[in-house]
Structure 1
Amino acid sequence: MCGIAGATRNLLGSDPHQTLHWMNDAMLHRGPDMGEIHLDEAIGLCHRRLSIIDLSEDGRQPMSSSDGRFAIVFNGEIYNFPALRKELEKKGHLFRSRTDTEVLLALYQEEGTIGLQKIRGMYAYAIWDKEKKELFAARDRIGKKPLYFFHDGDRFAFASEIKSLLAIPSIKPKFDPTALVDYLKYLFIPHPKSIYSNIHKLAPGHFLLFKNGRVHIEEYWDVDFSETSNASEEELTEELLTIIEEAVQCRLLSDVPLGAFLSGGIDSSGVVALMNRLQPDPVITCTIGFKDKSYNEAEEAKTFAFSLGARHHEYYVEDEPAQVIKKLVWHFDEPFADSSMVPTYYVSQMARKNVTVALSGDGGDENFAGYGKYAIDQFENRVRQHVPSPLLRLLASFSGSMLSGSRVGKKLHSLSSSALLSPAQGFYVTNTFISDSQLQTLLAPELLAQVRDYDPAGHILGYYNRAHGPDHLAAILYTDLKLLLPGDFLVKVDRMSMANSLEVRSPLLDQKVIEFAARIPSRFKLHGREKKYILKNALRGVLPSQVLQRKKHGFESPINKWFRHELRSMAETYLLYNEAMASFFNIHAIKQLWEQHQTGKQDHGTLLWTLFVFALWQEQWIAGGAVHV
């Protein structure tokens, strides 16, 4: 796990060595063990190393081929690199190290871009071909590892984090007002956009070629829901466990201490239980808890860990958010409002005291329909199919006026209104966090005029309509795998783990698990109202019944409470008495939200958190003069 960056020589200024070191220093947290640069007449590369495999000097990057033609910088882990190495050795390749980096370099020399199809792992890497004057860069299939790039004619740069690009003095980032709309709707900014109009994200499952001033981007992998398996439930269940167990097994390869995140839920508990089966030593487990019992799974996690004989560690988040939030916002480089960044940061910090690598349960919900929203959206779609539109319009009107003050009325209005939309549009409305009317009320008039013709629904609608699944559930699972997972959850885990120089591996997001899960019929994922039905069945011989039957909590933060207590003073200053925010928002509208929240009339925790994070980001980057608005 590392940090990578590079830029064409014409971006690096009069002292290219110094600029490369600035870029590298900006990512020190991603790789504290080594930091090196490579510079030739056309390009500069830099790398921060967190040593995991082959801790010797032989693993130093940037790494060059023996003939000096190719140079690579690599972030991630290739889990099948021992098998690939043997294959390449048979073709005459000689290796100086035990690293997966050198295997990637040899594979590219041997097969070019086609070699991507053979790689199994999490990765973002770039290879410079000195002879062709061509740069190749690729990002893993599901987007575990980040890759940003800047392109301006014949000038090009890339990096694991935006802050590394901003370390180049000649790059002048430009604020993108449509990205702010995306952020308010989704709580993150979907690829390929960033908050800057001239800095982009390479999409998961894509590679990039830069040559002669031109960028060519191509997709090399997509998850396919169109081929539904005809196997029996028993056969699918048995095969699923085998695939997951093997995905865990290959992620245990490490030359440094290894442990796991444990939330107490099915996904992380299943991973930990399988680790316990597959390794001789007790599993090292790490859990975060809250004093608020409605958000706390720490006790359940501890009980399960002790039942396995694990070496368990736990940490309770109390009043720390005000102390740490500025630091967390800095690590994301752009507005990012998933409040579970806080517990993710702390569990990563605690884990790093004991291990360098941690396995997680990420991906179980997206692959096997684990979120409550899937059952709700499935029900909405049945209503859409079977209830006539005139009746739905009548229900929407009646519930919106006569019953608007009641909880039942609000739910009925939401259901009937959503059912009047197309399946894709309905999924968009129920999976975004601010309505169009709220957006128009909140945005400052000048900014609203700039985005009036922009439709942020295109992100969800594009993926939903592209899905080739047999039913609605398949389409929304595909959409979340392509949009929500890489845009939100994997960004959160990458930044918060890397902030603590910790590598996180996710067996349930293994390529083989994702591809197999896509072939499982939807009825075995959402079985009536039971979520993750087949995953639970697959883990019945692995997990105790109390874990399998436990109600899902989710890795959330008590933000409604925080804004009334721990964060109240700090947030009030940033939201209500901050002149800079008036350039973007209607402060009067924010004050109304704030007062409603403080008096308990309504809970606006998510929206207030979204605005609060933006205010902190604005202070760090725009007020600091790094960004042009």
Structure 2
Amino acid sequence: MCGIFGFNFDDKELLRRMGSVLKHRGLDGSGYYSDMKVSLGHRRLKIIDLSDRAKQPMPNEDSSIWLTYNGEIYNFKELKEELEKKGHDFISNTDSEVIIHAYEEFGFSFVKKLRGMFAFALYDSNRDLLILIRDRIGIKPLYYFFDGEDFIFASEIKAILKHVKPRPDFTAIDQFFTYQFPLGPGTMFDGIKKVNPGEVLIYNLKTKILKNEKYWELKLEFGKESEGFYIKKIEELLKESIKMRLRSDVSLGLYLSGGLDSSYIAALASELNPEIKTFTIGFNHASDETDYAKKTAEHLGLEHKEIMVKPGEKELLPRITWHLDMPVANVAAVPTYIMAKNSKKYLTVALTGDGGDEIFAGYDKYRLMVLRQKLKFLPHFLKKIGVKAASIKLKPETSGRLEEFLLGDEIDAYLSYSSSFTENEKNELYKGIRAQNQKENLTRYFHMDLPLLQKLLNLDIKTLLPDDYLMKVDKMTMASAIEARVPLLDHRIVEFAMSIPPSLKIRGTKTKYIFRKAMAKKLPREIINRKKHGFNLPTEDWLENGLEEIAIQMFDLGNPLINTDYCRVIVSKFKTNPRYYSRQFWSSFSFFLWYKMYFEMERPSFNLNDYLS
């Protein structure tokens, strides 16, 4: 796990400034390569082969190909054996060198042989090509800027901003206030894009032409095997995935939330490595899951450590914003950052349970959308009567969402449940930009000839995971130079999960039906039958302990794009309807902080008080 960066010109000073701002991603050293055409840089976090032979940027034997690479290729030993049989010589025991020789042997198709999480750049000097590649699911981040002349890339946006002046992207901002993140390939910065998951980006240094090619596409057809077949295969594939991810030359542990996914990973990992340590985080608040994590660890006989957090952790918000390069609307970033920071003294590699909800259908929105579909046969007037009856006990804003959910089409229903702000609310929120109709962005996902649940899972695998959740995991762990590994998102598991019939994922009101069945022999029924808990910060406690005053002060300073008066209304309404306004509060508050950091301050500050004047 490392930080990578580079560009299509020679500027050694810029290279070092980019490396400096990414130092947190690799504390074990730095490396640079440049010629008249290309400059490449690397910040190293040693995981596999700790010797200097694994240093990057790494060349092939005649220095015609150079690599700067971030990630892990879990099947590198098998690929190395294959390449050695074909006559390739290796000087290191690292997975990085395998990438170079695989490209030499197989050309662009080599990436299809890789099994892991990765984002890397290959410079082929003989062909005048600079090639960027990102893993299939989008576990590792990779960004680029191209204006027709300068082509620049990096693991994090802040490195690109060492050369490019930041400008807000209004389309991405509207998406942020809808989904809490911008849809790929866009970012919150105009002109800076993400390399899409499963994509090869090829830049021709002579012609200055940039083109992209997909090397992987998720198949959405599902089979008709027995429950027993799917149960057996889930355990088989996940155990194999965990075994590959236990390979490390440094200390390794497991982040245990107490939820289904991390608990099942802990159960299988303990069979492969009974000495593995587990870690969890709590706030001494009703929202944490420390009791369940402790029970799971005790059941499995694992050494377990709890990290408890105090209300003052809200002071970390500027630092977390800087690491994300975007507003902290996904408040789960806070505990992830704290977990990584406090566990660094014990480990360098951590297994996590991310991805299970998106591939096995763990969220309530899936269950409710499927239930809504079953009510389609009801006459429209009966649905209206039901909405009117339910609205008697609901706040007006919640009632409006319910009406849209039951009476609108599939996309309306999805947005009514998932969006932070409705289109009307965005029109009240905005001052310098216009609200956009987000239905157009979702049409290609919902107009597929597939069962509704399959469409929803595909949407989240293509957007929510790579554009939000996985970026949170990567950047919050790499902020403390920890490599997070996600066994559930091995691409073979994702492919298999999507081949399971939707009827085996949601059964009645039970989410993750087949996944729970697979866990049945490994964990207590109390863990297996838990409802999806989700992680909620103690926002109400924080508001009572100073966050409300901080937010009001920040809003009072104004913003050229946002209506401050409406933000104050959100704060006041949060107290009467916290479930509804929590996302709106965090989106608006974090946006103000992010905007001031990147567009109004001379340099980022990690002191929250500096954003109040």
TM-score grouping bracket, smaller chain normalisation: over 0.9
CA contact (8 A) 1:367 1:518 kept: yes
In 2, the alpha carbon distance for the partners of 1:613 and 1:588 equals 16
Match for residue 562 of structure 2?
585
In 2, the alpha carbon distance for the partners of 1:505 and 1:601 equals 34
In structure 2, relative to structure 1, the CA distance for the partners of 1:376 and 1:613 (3 Å cut) is: same
Alpha-carbon shift at residue 496 of structure 1 (Å): 0.4
Alpha-carbon shift at residue 265 of structure 1 (Å): 1.1
In 2, the alpha carbon distance for the partners of 1:38 and 1:508 equals 36
Query: 1:291-344: CA deviations, max 9, x gaps?
Result: 112x12112211221232222111112213332111001111122410111111
In structure 2, relative to structure 1, the CA distance for the partners of 1:237 and 1:148 (3 Å cut) is: same
Query: 1:103-153: CA deviations, max 9, x gaps?
Result: 011111111211111110000001001111111111011110001000011
In structure 2, relative to structure 1, the CA distance for the partners of 1:602 and 1:416 (3 Å cut) is: closer
Alpha-carbon shift at residue 625 of structure 1 (Å): 5.4
In structure 2, relative to structure 1, the CA distance for the partners of 1:525 and 1:313 (3 Å cut) is: same
Mapping 1:24-423, distance limit 5 Å: 24-168=19-163, 171-211=164-204, 212-226=207-221, 228-279=222-273, 281-293=274-286, 295-383=287-375, 385-392=376-383, 398=388, 404=391, 406-407=393-394, 414-423=401-410
In 2, the alpha carbon distance for the partners of 1:413 and 1:175 equals 31
Alpha-carbon shift at residue 600 of structure 1 (Å): 6.6
Match for residue 437 of structure 1?
424
Alpha-carbon shift at residue 433 of structure 1 (Å): 1.2
In 2, the alpha carbon distance for the partners of 1:19 and 1:376 equals 51
SS of 2:463's equivalent in the other structure is helix
Match for residue 568 of structure 1?
548
Aligned residue type for 2:430: L
CA contact (8 A) 1:359 1:504 kept: yes
In structure 2, relative to structure 1, the CA distance for the partners of 1:591 and 1:540 (3 Å cut) is: same
Q: TM-score, normalised by structure 2?
A: 0.94
Match for residue 604 of structure 1?
581
Mean Cα displacement is larger for which, 329-338 or 153-162?
329-338
Pair 1:425 & 2:412 matched: yes
Alpha-carbon shift at residue 560 of structure 1 (Å): 3.4
Aligned residue type for 2:3: G
CA contact (8 A) 1:147 1:158 kept: yes
Alpha-carbon shift at residue 268 of structure 1 (Å): 0.3
In 1, the alpha carbon distance for the partners of 2:395 and 2:150 equals 57
In 2, the alpha carbon distance for the partners of 1:506 and 1:2 equals 16
SS of 1:314's equivalent in the other structure is strand
CA contact (8 A) 1:319 1:566 kept: no
Aligned residue type for 1:351: S
SS of 2:50's equivalent in the other structure is coil
Alpha-carbon shift at residue 68 of structure 1 (Å): 0.9
In structure 2, relative to structure 1, the CA distance for the partners of 1:544 and 1:605 (3 Å cut) is: same
Pair 1:594 & 2:563 matched: no
Query: 1:66-91: CA deviations, max 9, x gaps?
Result: 11110001000001111111111111
Pair 1:487 & 2:478 matched: no
Give 5+ residue unaligned stretches, structure 2: 605-613
Percent identity between matched residues is: 35
CA contact (8 A) 1:257 1:356 kept: yes
Aligned residue type for 1:185: T
Match for residue 502 of structure 1?
482
In structure 2, relative to structure 1, the CA distance for the partners of 1:309 and 1:393 (3 Å cut) is: closer
CA contact (8 A) 1:442 1:590 kept: yes
In structure 2, relative to structure 1, the CA distance for the partners of 1:423 and 1:596 (3 Å cut) is: closer
Alpha-carbon shift at residue 100 of structure 1 (Å): 0.5
In 2, the alpha carbon distance for the partners of 1:152 and 1:390 equals 54
Mean Cα displacement is larger for which, 413-422 or 614-623?
413-422
Alpha-carbon shift at residue 405 of structure 1 (Å): 5.2
In 2, the alpha carbon distance for the partners of 1:235 and 1:150 equals 46
In structure 2, relative to structure 1, the CA distance for the partners of 1:374 and 1:87 (3 Å cut) is: same
In 2, the alpha carbon distance for the partners of 1:541 and 1:601 equals 39
Query: 1:38-68: CA deviations, max 9, x gaps?
Result: 1011010000011000000011000011111
Alpha-carbon shift at residue 359 of structure 1 (Å): 0.3
In 1, the alpha carbon distance for the partners of 2:500 and 2:577 equals 44
Aligned residue type for 1:429: S
Question: 1:548 pairs with 492, 514, 528, which one?
Answer: 528
Q: TM-score, normalised by structure 1?
A: 0.92
CA contact (8 A) 1:366 1:477 kept: yes
Pair 1:455 & 2:445 matched: no
CA contact (8 A) 1:22 1:167 kept: yes
In structure 2, relative to structure 1, the CA distance for the partners of 1:602 and 1:549 (3 Å cut) is: closer
Aligned residue type for 1:350: N
Match for residue 3 of structure 1?
3
SS of 2:185's equivalent in the other structure is coil
Alpha-carbon shift at residue 267 of structure 1 (Å): 0.6
RMSD over aligned Cα atoms: 2.0
Aligned residue type for 1:531: T
CA contact (8 A) 1:148 1:199 kept: yes
CA contact (8 A) 2:5 2:155 kept: yes
Q: How many residues get paired?
A: 602
Pair 1:620 & 2:576 matched: no
Match for residue 610 of structure 2?
none
In 1, the alpha carbon distance for the partners of 2:94 and 2:557 equals 50
Give 5+ residue unaligned stretches, structure 1: none
In 2, the alpha carbon distance for the partners of 1:18 and 1:602 equals 49
CA contact (8 A) 1:463 1:482 kept: no
In 1, the alpha carbon distance for the partners of 2:557 and 2:243 equals 51
SS of 1:6's equivalent in the other structure is strand
Query: 1:449-502: CA deviations, max 9, x gaps?
Result: xx35x333333333333x56x310111011111111111110110110010100
Aligned residue type for 2:600: A
SS of 1:21's equivalent in the other structure is helix
SS of 2:488's equivalent in the other structure is helix
In 1, the alpha carbon distance for the partners of 2:330 and 2:400 equals 27
Aligned residue type for 1:606: R
Aligned residue type for 1:129: D
CA contact (8 A) 2:398 2:580 kept: no
Aligned residue type for 2:253: G
Pair 1:533 & 2:528 matched: no
Aligned residue type for 1:523: S
SS of 1:565's equivalent in the other structure is helix
Alpha-carbon shift at residue 561 of structure 1 (Å): 3.2
SS of 1:195's equivalent in the other structure is coil
Aligned residue type for 2:442: I
In 2, the alpha carbon distance for the partners of 1:555 and 1:589 equals 27
Query: 1:588-620: CA deviations, max 9, x gaps?
Result: 111222223346788622211111111111121
Match for residue 476 of structure 1?
456
Alpha-carbon shift at residue 407 of structure 1 (Å): 2.6
Alpha-carbon shift at residue 96 of structure 1 (Å): 0.5
